[in-house]
A = this chain, B = another copy of it.
Amino acid sequence: MSHNTFGHLFRVTTWGESHGPALGCVVDGCPPGIRFTLADIQSELDKRRPGQSRFVTQRREPDEVKILSGVIEDGGGLVTTGTPISMLIENVDQRSKDYGEIARQYRPGHADYAYEMKYGIRDHRGGGRSSARETAARVAAGAIARRIVPGMVVRGALVSMGDKAIDRANWNWNFVADPENPFFTPDPASVPVFADYLDGIRKAGSSVGAVIEIVAEGVPAGLGAPIYAKVDQDIAACLMSINAVKGVEIGNGFEAAKITGEKNADEMRMGNDGKPVFLSNNAGGILGGISTGQDIVARFAVKPTSSILTPRRSIDMDGNDVDVMTKGRHDPCVGIRAVPIGEAMVACAIADHYLRHRGQVGR
């Protein structure tokens, strides 16, 4: 991985700041002959787009993607040519004045101070390169990645918000995609609970974290490698690279540390169709870094956004103690919009491993 690139054979390079003219990505290594439409990408971007409910930032960005290279038109859609796919999204609704008074302050919980220590120069507007607007480029890349592994479906859901959690017994993937569901929760019963809770948070000028679960179905067994190219390692890196993520787990994750080997082992039997069947999936579809053919399951923890209306103690660039309050327009729970981002990153990680496996092993 370079500073702004991830992947090996399926490689994504992103660029752009929150308040510059545009942001985008270059997807390199996409096989030729992959078919999709601009609408396929746009619909993924729309899931991540701001301003769609009172629970997310009110910044209004159409997030309209343009494809500048790497495809040709064919039969009403697009087909990849094997050359790099450049995608561009213009920034429309930058309000730099929102940031005027915090240009020289380090917002607690933000990257401001660390960023200044690194580069000695900083585009403070909207967090510059640290802004979550960069994730639009990931989602666009992920929309292509989803088409690379035949039969693979990657979906995500919000499973907890602050101290409220879903009831897994109610899990319904169709409900996650329901336009009336503002939270990507799979549990219809959780909607009023989350709504009340988040309204309170929002009105208090506060924010709250969330946990997201990503499930990739249809991943063939054999992707990954036993040591430093583990599928779970690359999924962990991809998810941890999303803004505000503080933890990642695979399968039963931290729960595995609490139980015995008998309980944790996923037993196997031959199925009636002559194919192996796993009797459980504590491993989250990955053993020894290699996919088993079961669903790949990953979860990640998103911290509460640090942009809050409640003043916090901090310092400024001149070394003065200050109290910082971030007005602007912000998500009371950035974890909501992290769902399509997490899906995109998992799709990219697996697509890369699919191509690498095909290269090394030839199957």
Contacts and interface: CB of A to CB of B under 8 A. Distances in A.
Nearest to A352: B359
A229 interface: yes
A119 B262 contact: no
A9 interface: yes
A222 interface: yes
A126 interface: no
Contact of A234 (B68, B237, B288, B310): B237
Contact of A254 (B262, B267, B292, B301): B301
Nearest to A122: B81
Contacts of A168: none
A292 B114 contact: yes
Interface string A92-119: 0000000000000010111101110111
Contacts of A20: 68-69
Interface of A: 1-6, 8-9, 11, 13-17, 20-24, 26, 28-29, 31-33, 68-70, 72, 79, 81-86, 88, 106, 108-111, 113-115, 117-123, 127-130, 134, 160, 162-163, 201, 206-211, 221-230, 232-234, 236-237, 240-241, 243, 246-254, 256-262, 264-270, 274, 276, 279, 283-284, 286-293, 301-308, 310, 312-315, 319-321, 335, 355-363
Q: How many copies of this chain does one complex carry?
A: 4
8 contacts: A4-B28, A6-B228, A9-B359, A16-B69, A114-B224, A117-B293, A208-B261, A249-B254
Contacts of A21: 68
Contacts of A228: 1-6, 14, 241
Contacts of A225: 3-4, 118
A283 B112 CA distance: 13
A3 B227 contact: yes
B121 A261 contact: no
